[in-house]
Structure 1
């Protein structure tokens, strides 16, 4: 049960990121979250929307794992997508903002460990 809850929370986080990147990129809230200026946000709007779409794919994969009718297969799907989130978070923290390690990578690592050991 804890594994499902944590995986679901990671999926929700990525749905939130999708919304920020695809639909709210140029708003003050998104600009604060991602540390961009109004000019940079306008110039990178289509790139951010593409990033948001990929975050949506991560969320969809996590939800797919949660709802898969075959528990063992669902667990494998969750492991794969949590590992993807972890790798993306590690890369983002190393190349963009270190806070991504805490916001994305650490929660994904915790959820992955719980799924692996449950």
Structure 2
């Protein structure tokens, strides 16, 4: 089960780096399509600032998750990954409710599964 937790956490970390790339570096058209926003809105300077700001958070989360997988060991690693995956579940649920339902499947569900596996490992 420990290997599954590490693989899932690595995938979730990489996913957040991909999300960062989309939010910070993708074309306006790709951002509008990916995040289901009107293109006219995405082109606004303030919308770009907001997307890039969200990108920094997603990238930071992804990087911390990946570093945690490789840097920590044992119960410390599981505890850190538990907190990070809990954060992803919360953010994913909010995004699924406010942005698009697909965030539930793409972001929240994998983190929830990982979170439950971690809890089973710790208990």
TM superposition score normalised by structure 2: 0.87
Determine which structure has greater relative contact order: mean sequence separation of CA pairs < 8 Å that are 6+ residues apart, divided by chain length. 2
TM superposition score normalised by structure 1: 0.91
Which residue is 1:22 aligned to? 24
Which residue is 1:11 aligned to? 13
Which residue is 2:41 aligned to? 40
Which residue is 1:97 aligned to? 100
Q: Is the 8 A contact 1:64 1:74 kept in 2?
A: no
Q: 2:109 aligns with which of 103, 106, 111?
A: 106
SS in 2 for 1:117: helix
Could you list the runs of 5+ residues in structure 1 that have no partner in the other structure? none
- Distance in 2 (alpha carbons) for counterparts of 1:33 and 1:91: 17
Residue 65 of structure 1 deviates from its aligned partner by 1.9
Segments of 4+ moved more than 4 angstroms: none
Q: 1:64 aligns with which of 64, 67, 75?
A: 67
